[in-house]
Amino acid sequence: MKVNNAEIVISAVSQKQYPNDRLPEIALAGRSNVGKSSFINRLIHRKNLARTSSKPGKTQTLNFYKINQLFYFVDVPGYGYAKVSKKEREKWGVMMEEYFETRDTLKAVMLITDIRHEPSADDVNMYQFLKHFELRVIVIATKLDKIAKGKIAKHVKRTRDTLQMEKEDIVIPFSAESGEGKDEAWGVIRQYL
């Protein structure tokens, strides 16, 4: 997809602030510092629309980016940052639940993982949390440029196995550095809109 227009519409903390124009949404989730902002920026050809987070765990808002007046990317706050207090973690949970449970314009969630590593316990929890709401999940295994070509299949399998992924959910190896996986990512987004 050629992105001509991308703008942040709102950073929301609660339901009443969500946009109400009924456009479809694709949410983006991932561990802090996994490469989520880089993924969005690469997809929409912006250097810095989704601010690459220098302080992991800081932005506790749902950021709604309107793309081509056609749909929203909803950037959800990163998880798994050790220094976040228990209270903040709870607040995060409430916010996530409110969003994932009620948002009927939400079409699918892209869960960003690091292809180099086995998904963390937090990644597993997140995947299972999303499936609890019966959401479709597309796993974006990023930082593909950091592993050897010959290891891709093995790492993808490990990702699937550790997350206990359902058959219909797919994994897309991706690199924000090289742009590999970008067309595949747009392909599935298009399917879900």
Sites of contact with ligand GDP (CB under 6 A): 30, 32-38, 52-53, 56, 78, 142-143, 145-146, 175-177
In the complex, least distance from residue 109 CB atom to ligand GDP, rounded to whole angstroms: 15
Q: Which is nearer to ligand GDP, 32 or 159 (CB)?
A: 32
In the complex, least distance from residue 164 CB atom to ligand GDP, rounded to whole angstroms: 23
In the complex, least distance from residue 46 CB atom to ligand GDP, rounded to whole angstroms: 12
Q: Which is nearer to ligand GDP, 108 or 112 (CB)?
A: 112
- What is the SS3 assignment for the chain? CCCCCEEEEEEECCHHHCCCCCCCEEEEEEECCCCHHHHHHHHCCCCCCCCCCCCCCCCCCEEEEEECCCEEEEECCCECCCCCCHHHHHHHHHHHHHHHHHCCCEEEEEEEEECCCCCCHHHHHHHHHHHHCCCCEEEEEECHHHCCHHHHHHHHHHHHHHHCCCCCCEEEECCCCCCCCHHHHHHHHHHHC
Q: Which is nearer to ligand GDP, 23 or 117 (CB)?
A: 117
In the complex, least distance from residue 16 CB atom to ligand GDP, rounded to whole angstroms: 26
Q: Which is nearer to ligand GDP, 59 or 162 (CB)?
A: 59
